[in-house]
Amino acid sequence: MHRLLIYNTTILTEDESTQTYKVIPKGYLFLEDNYISQIGEGAAPSLLSEKATNVNGENLLIMPGLVNTHGHSAMSLLRSYADDLPLMKWLQEKIWPVEARLSEEEVYWGTLLSIVEMIRSGTTTFTDLYFFMEEAAKAVEESGIRAVLSEGLLGILESSDKALEYTKNLHENWHGAANGRISIILGPHALFTCPPDFMEQVLGISRERNMPIQIHLSETKEEFENAKKSNGKSPTRILADLGILDQSVIAAHCVHINEEDMDIIAEKNVGVAHNPGSNLKLGSGIAPVVDMLKKGIKVGIGTDGASSNNNLDMFEEMRLAALIPKGFYQDPTLIPAPKALEMATFLGAKVLSLDKVGKIKEGYHADLIGVNLDSPRMRPSHNLISSVVYSATGADVELVTVNGRLLMEKGKLLTLDEERITARSEELAKKLVGQA
C-alpha cells in the first residue's frame, strides 16, 4: 500500500452542496493506494504524516490533472514536419507516406516523448489512436500515466482484418493493465476510411466485448459534404443508422455538424473530443461547442497529434476552448473559466467513460497536479480558476501524481529518463522522414 501526504498546500476541490469549484487556501491531501482518501483544511494530523511519504505543497495549487481526450501520441516524431496545409493534402501528401514506414520502435519512443511532454504540462490521462499500440501500452505502463488506447483501424486497407485481430489481442492483453491505468477501446479512423461493412465488424466487436469506440467525425466541411452527396446523409446520421452510436462513442472534432446531428449526439449520449488548436491550425473550422453544451452534450478537450497542433499543452487548449467562442460570437460570457476547466478535467473523463477521474474529491483517483503559485503568471491572483485557465501554461506545473504515485516533483520527472527519450526520438524521427 502506498501513501502520500501533500501538506501545507492550496487545494482546488469541489463544494459538496453546490458541486462548484471551491478553494481551500491552506490544507492537506492524503492519498492512499490509487485514491484521494482525505482532504482537510489547516495542518495535517500527525497520525497521517507518520504513515505516509510527506510532500510539502507550499506555493502549489493542487488541482485535478488534465484529461486529453484526443491524440496520436507517436506523431510527436512528425512535429513541424508538415505545416500550413489543409487536412487532406497534409494527410495524403505528407503524413500517410511517412506513416507507411512506421515500425514498433518509432511508436514506442514517440509515445514516450509525448508522455514526457504531457506529464510536464499537467496531463494525467490521454487518449491515443495510432498504430502498434502495444508499444504505446508499454510506454504508458513504464511512465505511470493513465491512458485510453486504440489501434487505428483503416477499413480501406487490405490489412484491416489484421488490425481488427490486433485490437482483440491488445484488449485481451492490456485492458485494465498497469494497475487499471490502461483502457483499450476500438479506433476506426473515420467514416471516409472505414466503409459500412467494416464498421459493422467494428460494431460486432464493440458489442461482444463492451468496448467503447473512438472515431474522427465531421472534422472538415469536405467530409460532411461528401457524405451528403454520396449517401444523402450527414456523417453523424450515417453512424447512427449503422448502430454505432448505440455504443459508448468518443467522436473527435464534430466541427461540421448541423442541428439534427447535435440532437442525435445528445440523444445517443456521444462524448465529443473538442480540439480547438488542431481545428484552427488545419483550417478545419470552429466546432459549435456552445450549442453542444446547451443541448447537454458532454464535451472534453483534446490536443490532437503534435503534428497538427504542434504541442500537447492542455493549458493552451483549455484557454483556446474558452476564448474562441467569445471572439466568434462576440460574447465574452460564453464558456466561462470554470466551464473550460471542467471540460479539460471531469467532463473529459466522462467522455472517455472513466469513473472517478477529474476531480479533487475524496474517493476519486489520485490524479492531480501542482501548479506553481510563485510563477509570475500566477501573481497576483484575484481568482485562482481564472488564473489557471487564462494565465497559466503547462510550464507552471511542478508536481504530478497518477493513482497516488508521484510522476513529477519540483519539476523533475521521476519515472522517465527524459534525456534518453528525447535523444532517441530525435534520431528515429530523422530516419523516419529520410533525413538520416
Residues that bind Zn ion (CB under 5 A): 304
Q: By C-alpha distance, which of 183, 129, 177, 136 is closest to 152?
A: 129
**Cβ-based nearer residue to Zn ion, 170 or 252:** 252
Shortest separation between residue 216's beta carbon and Zn ion, angstroms: 5
State how far the Cα of 151 lies from the Cα of 291, in Å rounded to an integer.
31
The smaller minimum CB distance to Zn ion, of residues 78 and 360, is found at: 78
Residue 69 or 183: the one with the smaller Cβ distance to Zn ion is 69
How near is the Cβ of 112 to Zn ion at its closest, in Å? 20
Taking the C-alpha atoms of residue 177 and residue 354, their distance in angstroms, rounded to an integer, is 15
- Name 138's Cβ contacts closer than 8 Å, sequence gap at least 6: 108
Output 252 or 400, the one with its CB closest to Zn ion. 252
Alpha-carbon Rg for the chain in angstroms: 21
Q: Which residue is nearest to Zn ion (CB)?
A: 304
Neighbouring residues of 330: CB distance < 8 A, sequence distance ≥ 6: none
SS3 (DSSP) at 150 = strand
Closest CA to 404 of 2, 96, 54: 2
Task: Output 71 or 404, the one with its CB closest to Zn ion.
Answer: 71
Q: Of 125, 128, 143, which Cα lies nearest the Cα of 418?
A: 143
In contact, 38 and 30? CB cutoff 8 Å: yes
Neighbours of 38 (CB within 10 A): 15
Rounded to 5 degrees, what are φ and ψ at 288? -80, 60
DSSP 246-302: GS-EEEEE--S--HHHHHHHHHTT-EEEE-HHHHHHTT-----HHHHHHTT--EEE-
Task: Provide the CA 133 distance to its chain's centre, in angstroms.
Answer: 16
Pick the closer one to Zn ion by CB: 304 or 396.
304
Least gap, CB of 151 to Zn ion (angstroms): 14
Residue 188 or 370: the one with the smaller Cβ distance to Zn ion is: 188
* Crossing angle of the two packed helices 314-328 and 337-344, in degrees rounded to 10: 140
DSSP letter, residue 202 = H
- 212 φ, ψ to 5°? -65, 165
- CA separation for the pair 75, 423 (Å, rounded): 16
3-class DSSP state of 50? helix
The minimum distance between CB 128 and Zn ion, in angstroms, equals 10
Pick 223 or 304: Cβ nearer Zn ion: 304
Q: How far is the CB of 71 from Zn ion (least distance, A)?
A: 7
Q: How far is the CB of 74 from Zn ion (least distance, A)?
A: 13
**Residue 27 vs 188, nearer CB to Zn ion:** 188
Report, in Å, the least distance between residue 302 CB and Zn ion. Answer: 8
Of 217 and 406, the one with the shorter C-beta distance to Zn ion is: 217
C-alpha grid cell, residue 414: 521521476
Provide, rounded to whole angstroms, the least separation between the CB of residue 73 and Zn ion. 11
For the bound state, the minimum distance from the C-beta of residue 188 to Zn ion, rounded and expressed in Å, comes to 12
CB of 283 to Zn ion, least distance (A): 15
